[in-house]
Each structure stands twice: as C-alpha cells, then as structure tokens.
Amino acid sequence: MDQDGGTPILSVAGMRATIRLNRPSVHNRIEPEDLRTLIAHFAAIDADPAIRVVIITGTGRSFSSGYHLGDLASRPAAEVTGEASFEQMLEKLENLRAPVICRLNGGVYGGSTDLALCCDFRIGVDTAEMFMPAARLGLHYYPSGMVRYVSRLGLNAAKKLFLTAEKIAAPEMLAIGYLTEMVPASELDARVDALADRLAAMAPLAVQGVKRSLNEIARGQFDVPAALLRAKESQASEDLREGLAAFREKRVPVFKGR
C-alpha cells in the first residue's frame, strides 16, 4: 500500500455520504489525480436522490494541507483551466445538491481552506489552525476563491488572510465566521452527527432549493425567476403537505423528497 494513502474515499450509509481525504503522511495534500476522483464522487452523490447530507473530512491529524503546488511553475495555467482543475472541482463541490458539512479534524491550509468554504457548514476542533500562503508563494489566487473568501468572511478577514499569509488559530477562525462551530476533539463526531441527522430530517427539496438560492445571493448572481420557480414547486410538493400535516398533528414529519 502507498504510504501516502490514496485518492479520496466515498462511503454512503443511508441518507449520508462521507468523503474522506486519504493521504495522512502528507497531511491529506490534494494531488492532481485526486481532482478527477473528487469530481466523480460529487457526480455519484448528485445522482443518488436518497443522499440528503454530505460530510467531508480528513484522515489522521490534519484536514488537508491544500493542493500540491510543487511543479506549478511548469504548468502556470493548471489551477484555473483544463478538464479537471482545482477550481472546477471546488465549483462542483459548492454546487452539490445536498448540504455539505466539513468535519475539520485538524489544520487546514492553502487551497483546502477554500475547499472548506465551499461547504455549507464547518465544524472544527479547538486545536485547528489555518493559513492562506498564496501571496508568500507569489501566486495570485483564482477569482472564485477570492469571491468565496469575501462573501463568507468579509473583506477585512479576506485581506488579512490573503495579503499577510498569517496563520490563525481555531478561536479566531470561529470569530471571523470561518468555523460554524468549534468543539473539543472528543465532541467532534457527536456534533457532526447531530447536525447531519438534523439536515437529513429536513424537507430535502426545500433545503436543496434554498441552499442554491443562498449561494447565488452570496456570489452576487441571484436568479430570482429560478428561485421563484423553486418556491412554487415546493408549494405544490408532497413534502409541504406532509410538513403541514405533521405540524398540525404534533408529530415528526417524514419527508420523501417529492
């Protein structure tokens, strides 16, 4: 077996899909061959209507040390162009149908900080840390990543992280909104499970539609007619009738995604 592990692993259990980055000896660095694997995993998840929540995590002590930039000087367009670029992979992650929880089991660095921002929730251990070294390396970041940083964290935090390449610890990650929740390592799995169970119990058509609309708003690309169409479709859904009936009858709703 390769001592560095291998490509990311996808597992599915009921309504939950889990993707685990799997190169612990290099802190789950994302290699070029991992991009196609991740894109294939995302396609498989979107093709399975039974999946209502996705978890992304890392193997070992770190979440991820980012994308492998070792030979970037010899491939200057690799990060933003091509059939399976890092930016394209992140776009597909951000646009996954189901909500995504990033289980930050440790430090997150470089491009993987943007990978985590593509997720809808980030629950991290209180020993986590992050930094964005692009400027220190002489790299101007790709456009969609900068948009995510500013829209999720605000201009001041984005400037600090991008322009100084300063490392920040979990409490500051929580304060700037990078972390949705900060927990001791002993509580990480319980908190991720609780959020995953809650998301899976929601009406999937409503959750997925609202997620898409909110992401469009954050990018400044809100498609109002499409959002209104999704709203009308939800009003005609079996799930809405079930939700209203459950509310009246004071019971837990059972949604079927239709």
Reading the block at residue 91, the tokens are 């776009």
- Position 119 scores a pLDDT of 97
Query: Residue 256 phi/psi, 5° resolution?
Result: -115, 0
Q: Does residue 76 have a pLDDT over 70? A: no
CB atoms within 10 A of CB 107: 25
Query: Residue 164 phi/psi, 5° resolution?
Result: -105, -20
Starting at the edge strand found earlier in the chain, the sheet holding 6-13 runs 6-13, 16-22, 53-58, 100-104, 121-125, 181-183
Reading the block at residue 121, the tokens are 């929730």
Q: Does residue 82 have a pLDDT over 70? A: no
Reading the block at residue 137, the tokens are 């390396």
Confidence of residue 80 (pLDDT cuts 50, 70, 90): very low
How many helices and strands, by DSSP H and E, does the chain display? Answer: 11, 9
For the chain, what are the domain ranges?
Answer: 6-199, 203-249
pLDDT digits (tens, 9 = 90+) for 125-182: 999 999 999 888 888 888 899 999 999 999 999 999 999 999 999 999 999 999 999 9
- Position 70 scores a pLDDT of 66
Q: Does residue 83 have a pLDDT over 90? A: no
Please state, in angstroms and rounded to a whole number, the distance separating the CA atoms of residues 175 and 181.
10
The letter for the amino acid at 175 is A
- Position 120 scores a pLDDT of 97
Q: Does residue 69 have a pLDDT over 60? A: yes
For strand 6-13 and strand 16-22, is the pairing parallel, antiparallel, or unpaired?
Answer: antiparallel
Q: What is the mean pLDDT of the chain?
A: 90
| Multiple choice CATH, 6-199, 3.90.226.10, 3.40.50.1820, 1.10.10.520, 3.30.420.10 | 3.90.226.10
Please state, in angstroms and rounded to a whole number, the distance separating the CA atoms of residues 60 and 20.
10
- Contact of 192 with 123, CB cutoff 8 Å: yes
What percent of the chain has pLDDT above 70?
Answer: 93
Q: Kindly report the pTM of this predicted structure.
A: 0.90
What is 145-205 written as a DSSP string? HHHHHHHHH-HHHHHHHHHH---EEHHHHHHTTS-SEEE-GGGHHHHHHHHHHHHHHS-HH
- Position 30 scores a pLDDT of 92
